């Protein structure tokens, strides 16, 4: 199967989609950054709030860990979205990095930053599953 590049109209659509997701993810990460700096300022203030934070540390830590994980995921997504944008400009968007075939457009509509086609993705996940066993 020959690779056929996406039409200019489709590329435009994906570019807009990626940019809006990028904006959302960036805003989300910014929000958390702001929240965390406010929290740090508060806890460095008076001792009574420090004691309160100590008592509540168990759930705080948990929440922090979750937030850090979410941040990591979001940052990963931002990286992938930026990569996808570069590919749009380079004319290699929508092509699987593994086999060089077209990635299904319906897949791109769900995950606009997908790097691999479904069959390569399945192969990789299969491998991962086998490695775990
Ligand atoms: Zn592939």
Q: What is the pLDDT of residue 29?
A: 92
Please answer whether residues 113 and 83 qualify as being in contact, where contact means their C-beta atoms are separated by less than 8 angstroms: yes
> From ligand 1's centre to the CA of 9, what distance in Å?
23
Q: How far is CA 69 from the centre of its chain?
A: 11
Q: What is the pLDDT of residue 5?
A: 77
Residue ranges for the chain with pLDDT beneath 50 = 49-51
3-state secondary structure at position 75: helix
> From ligand 1's centre to the CA of 47, what distance in Å?
57
- Cα–Cα distance between 105 and 9 in angstroms, integer? 13
Neighbours of ion ligand 1 (CB under 5 A): 96, 98-99, 117, 120
Q: What is the pLDDT of residue 49?
A: 47
Which domains does the chain show, CATH number per domain? Answer: 8-132 (1.20.120.910)
Angle, vertex CA 94, rays to CA 15 and CA 81, nearest 5: 45
Tokens 């965390």 sit on residue: 36
């Amino acid at each position: 199967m020959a690779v056929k590049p996406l039409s200019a109209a489709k590329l435009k659509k994906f570019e807009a989609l990626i940019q809006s997701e990028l904006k959302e993810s960036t805003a989300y990460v910014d929000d958390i950054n702001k929240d965390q700096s406010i929290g740090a300022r508060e806890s460095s203030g008076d001792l009574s709030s420090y004691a309160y934070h100590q008592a509540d540390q168990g759930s705080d830590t948990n929440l922090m860990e979750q937030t850090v994980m979410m941040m990591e995921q979001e940052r990963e997504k931002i990286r992938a979205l930026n990569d996808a944008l570069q590919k749009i400009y380079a004319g290699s968007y929508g092509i699987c990095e593994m086999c060089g075939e077209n990635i299904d457009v319906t897949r791109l509509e769900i995950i606009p930053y997908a790097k691999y086609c479904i069959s390569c993705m399945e192969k990789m996940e299969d491998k991962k599953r086998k490695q775990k066993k």
